[in-house]
Amino acid sequence: MVHVAYDLLAVITLASHLICMNLAGGLPVLAAWVHGRGTNRDDPALEQVARDAIWHSLIALFGGIVLGLTLAGIMWLDEDRGLFFVLPAFSHKIQWGFAELVFFVACLGIYLGLAGDRFRLSRVAPVVRYLFAILAASNLLYHFPPLFTVMARSAQNYESIPDAINARQYFELMLRGYALPLALHVTLASYAVAAVYLVKRMIACGWDDATIHRRTVAKRLCLIALTVTLLQIPAGIWLLMRFDAVGQSRLMGGDLIATLALGLSILLAFRLMHLLAAAAFSNLGNREIRQVTVTLLLIVLLMTSALRRSEMIRRVEDSGTQVTAYQASLLGHQHCEGNSFEIDNHGFVA
| 206-210, 224-228, 265-269, 299-303: least confidently modelled range | 206-210
Report the topology of domain 2-314. Formate dehydrogenase/DMSO reductase fold (1.20.1630)
Short-list 99, 209, 109, CA closest to 143:
99
- With a CB cutoff of 8 Å and minimum separation 6, the contacts of 110 are 128, 132
| 86-90, 234-238, 332-336: least confidently modelled range | 332-336
> What predicted TM-score, i.e. pTM, was given to this entire model?
0.84
Residue-level length of the chain = 350
Strand partners, 349: 343
- With a CB cutoff of 8 Å and minimum separation 6, the contacts of 244 are 344, 346, 347, 348
One-character DSSP codes across 298-330: HHHHHHHHHHHHHT----EEETTEEE-HHHHHH
What average pLDDT score do residues 308-337 get? 45
What average pLDDT score do residues 39-43 get? 85
Average pLDDT, the chain: 84
CA dihedral 164→138→103→61, nearest 10 degrees, is: -90
With a cut of 90, say whether residue 121 has pLDDT above it. no
- Domain borders along the chain are 2-314, 316-350
| Conformation bin of residue 283: beta by default, left when phi > 0, alpha when psi is -120 to 50 | beta
Q: What is the pLDDT of residues 294-310, one digit of tens each?
A: 999 999 999 999 988 87
Q: What is the pLDDT of residues 92-116, one digit of tens each?
A: 888 888 999 999 999 999 999 998 8
Short-list 149, 93, 160, 169, CA closest to 332:
169
- For residue 246, the one-letter residue type is V
- For residue 179, the one-letter residue type is A
Give the model's pLDDT for residue 312. 59
Start-to-end C-alpha separation, the chain: 35
With a cut of 80, say whether residue 349 has pLDDT above it. no
Secondary element (H or E) of residue 29 = helix 2-40
